[in-house]
Homo-oligomer: A and B are copies of this chain.
């Protein structure tokens, strides 16, 4: 496998994997391209590199910036905008985890809390609904706390956590 093949394989795998970390294909591919680039890329570079339209590139770059994964780079003497992504994998994982907690997990906890707080009318079906959603609420809240705990350890968090759990 040569450079171009490897690059293509990485970008497309990372793209189709987007769903795993909750973003769409183009978004993930742009991030992948920036992630292995030695220098900041312009919109033209990204359009050419992935064979996607200007509009698509623009919209997905915006989303990546909203997530805090990609930043604009000003290059002196250049009129165009250039983009870079967070290159440190641990920091990248921290950002993704925090955003998913905020965007997805927190809202679910809210709904589960509402549902599990309905009045118990004595009906077995109501009791079951309350019990099960309460359990799910507690689990989700604990997992969210766990994720935030892991993620706030900054330096080498994943490896450190693993060691703690093994020991």
Contacts and interface: CB of A to CB of B under 8 A. Distances in A.
Contact of A115 (B1, B126, B135, B164): B1
Given A3-B123, A118-B1, A158 B146 contact: yes
A70 B16 CA distance: 27
Contact of A162 (B2, B20, B128, B142): B142
A37 interface: yes
Contacts of A19: 19, 22
A93 B37 CA distance: 37
Interface string A28-72: 000000011110000000000000000000000000000000000
Given A6-B133, A19-B22, A20-B105, 19 more contacts: A1-B114, A3-B123, A3-B126, A3-B129, A6-B114, A7-B129, A9-B115, A13-B115, A37-B128, A38-B124, A89-B132, A89-B135, A89-B138, A89-B139, A90-B139, A142-B158, A145-B162, A149-B162, A164-B164
